[in-house]
A and B are shown apart, each in its own frame.
Chain A
Amino acid sequence: MNSRLTQHLNILDYALSSLWRRRAKNLSILIVFSWVIFLVASFQLVTQALTETATSVLRSTPEITVQKMSAGRQIEIPIDFSRKLAAIFGIQEIVPRVWGYYFDEVTGANYTVMGIAPGRMPLLDRLNLSLEEGGRYDQGSRGKVVIGRSIRRIMEEKGSTLLSLFRPDLSQTSFEVTGVFKPEVDILTNDLIVMNIDDARDLFAIPSSMATDLCVYVANPSEVATIARKISEALPGTRVLTRSQINRTYQVVFGWRSGFASVCLLTALTAFVILAWDKASGLSPEEKREISILKILGWETADVLAVRFWEGILVSGIAFIVGCTLAYAHVVFFNASLFKPVLIGWSVIYPEFRLVPSFRLDQFLLVFSLSVLPYLAATVIPAWRSASVPADSALSGM
């Protein structure tokens, strides 16, 4: 075998036994370090899951949404308006949409009802992908709905197979459930009922010439701003929302929250780094003696540094694995309960959603560079100090 490799394996072996000999001291570092990594990794997993969801929300929203305003409130918009926009160059498609909230008096729950025009909305392609196995959304056929998981739960409790809803005049209408959304998209779909736009009009008693808003799809993203301006000029009295405006609002709210939490975590990290530095620089007389013995026996400064390096790698490696594993369990099985206060905005809106983070390599690397690298950097100076204990202090009678 290559002798440099053997040398490093020997030194690694020595580092392991050296860690084990000082297990009391190292265990405390390990516990604190694992805790810090646990916090950073849980936070990262939660934000990752939320960002992914939020991004997919944005991806499925149209580039421009047009709403009619009256006295500062949103009211129904005539579908005719879309004809006035047809002349604007660059618009790919204008699709009316009906949506609203439905209060179920029996269970006291609020549902979101979304009525979409069959076959015309790009969103539909994605819809079938986010349904649980076996579910299918029939475009265009009336009387069929796909629902979120919490609505299915309510139906199961009632033991009914048809979803019965009441029109404003209290007459009943029933829908056949053809699909249920996957848990991964719970945050979006937990309380969602998707149906044909005409069914939605029927349910909310909206005249067939009206819609809640108009979704405008634009082919070229660089033209969105111009087209939005033209729309608001063509249709006075409407509110024109672009996706990037929604995005920006989201960024401000979400960025503030995650930034605030990051700063808190950085404080924890700093405290830990100071602790690590302190622990590593406190060189006991025994350790000093050990190093001077090693050096007089022919160990180079570089060899002792290698021992310290491997000790650091071992401690941070173990802490990293422990911390990340606990964080995954925390987020997936305990719903990130420690971060509830930070996520309060979401947990109020969606009281019960499951976070399903995808732990990818880049997430590992991010957590690694936020935790292990500062630790290694904090221990390098103390490691060198200990490695530069002179050999002659092992001799007597100087």
Chain B
Amino acid sequence: MLLSSWSIALLLCGLIVLFLMGLAARSAIRVLLYWDPASDSNRQIRLENEIWLTSTLVEYALGIQIISLIVFVLAADFFSQSIAGAMCATGSLLADSYGVPALVVKIVGVFFYGFWIVLHQLDIHSEKYPLVRKKYLYLLLLIPLLILDLTLEILYITGLKPDIITSCCAVVFGDTTGGGTNLIGGFSHGLSMGLFYGTAGGLLCIGLFLLKRWQRWACVLFSSGWLWFFLLSLTVVTSEFSSYIYAMPFHKCPFCILKPEYHYIGFVLYFALFLGAFFGMSGALVEPLRSVDDLESGVTGYQASAVKSSLFFLTVFVLVSSYHYWRYILIGGEG
């Protein structure tokens, strides 16, 4: 399927990101070798200018990576038209063994690039640029991830053949008896709903507490809570909420909610979840930087706004994802 427009768009996005990050890496190596804040030499002036170049490059790369994540899921959905047994992205992602790893690496990549930008913003808040070396080292470490991403993507696309037979969402996520392939049937309905709303409520309480009084333990709890909530939400959206959105009890799929038939509700839902999780988790990740020279105020400022944003997106996510569920519970089915 290498020659479909979707594959070409995906590969193009991948190559652009690689190109941008490659340029950024070139600057990173120069900065790591020659950075000397005490000098006013032409080289130092050029390096200071290159900081803007790298940050712009990474910002563009992040933007394109986010778009390419969406394109990836939509492409998988498109491929399902010509794969036997696949009705949506689930089927075509499972059609060869590289689909799901490619998706996971892409999602992880988005979080990592985003965190680089957080580091960069903290760094340029301080007159000493105390994180310069750390952030460029980190940037160099992103390159292998990027190459892995592109490789998995190419392996996935080339491995797709129209005559592959795969299982789709109804089989994979459905809780009907018989199929041994059910991925997430382990939880009972009540337990997963309880966990979902319980964790969301807990996160809200810790977040509000953090905004009143900053405690390191609470911050760590908040961030790890978000990691748990992120994974939990992905399963709960798939196994519980999605069938209420589709209004079909046996249709459980994390991808079909992205389709126009469901008013693109999935985009709102996942954007809120991803942003919330990003802000929630990055709060604790920057905590160790508090002790770094001159960064205290920057870190405090970032953490406060990160907690606020994550609570905002948490609320949006919970409201949007449970809307159909509660409507069903309160009003009943169609009508």
Contacts and interface: CB of A to CB of B under 8 A. Distances in A.
**Is chain B in direct contact with chain A in the complex (CB below 8 A)?**
yes
B186 to A, nearest CB: 25
A366 B13 CA distance: 11
Contacts of B56: 305, 309, 380, 383-384
Interface in B1-21: 1-6, 8-9, 12-13, 16, 19-20
Contacts of A370: 5, 8-9, 12
Given A244-B162, A373-B64, A387 B16 contact: no
Contacts of B9: 366, 369-370
B323 to A, nearest CB: 20
A221 B165 contact: yes
A256 B3 contact: yes
B187 interface: no
Contacts of B52: 301-302, 305, 384, 387-388
A377 B59 CA distance: 11
If over half of B's interface residues share one DSSP class (helix, strand or loop), that class is named, otherwise mixed; here it is helix
Contacts of B1: 255
B262 interface: no
Contacts of A208: none
A373 B16 contact: yes
B13 to A, nearest CB: 6
Contacts of B13: 369, 373
Nearest to A387: B52
B46 to A, nearest CB: 8
Contacts of A44: 5
A360 B258 CA distance: 12
B82 interface: yes
A106 interface: no
B16 A377 contact: yes
A251 interface: yes
A222 interface: yes
Given A255-B3, A301-B52, A262 B8 contact: yes
A25 interface: no
A388 B165 contact: no
B3 A259 contact: yes
A248 B163 contact: yes
A346 B39 CA distance: 69
Nearest to A244: B163
B70 interface: yes
Contacts of A55: 81-82
Contacts of B19: 377
A302 B57 CA distance: 12
A259 B1 CA distance: 10
Contacts of B78: 362
B303 to A, nearest CB: 18
Interface in A231-273: 243-244, 247-248, 251, 255-256, 258-259, 262, 266
Nearest to A251: B162
Contact of A369 (B60, B67, B85, B163): B67
Given A305-B52, A380-B57, A369 B68 contact: yes
Interface in A187-223: 221-222
A271 B57 CA distance: 22
A361 B78 CA distance: 13
A374 B16 CA distance: 7
Nearest to A383: B56
Given A43-B5, A255-B4, A259-B2, 16 more contacts: A44-B5, A221-B84, A247-B82, A248-B162, A258-B3, A262-B5, A262-B8, A266-B8, A362-B77, A365-B67, A366-B74, A369-B71, A370-B9, A381-B23, A383-B56, A387-B52
Interface of B: 1-6, 8-9, 12-13, 16, 19-20, 23, 45, 49, 52-53, 56-57, 60, 64, 67-68, 70-71, 74, 77-78, 81-82, 84-85, 162-163, 165, 260, 264
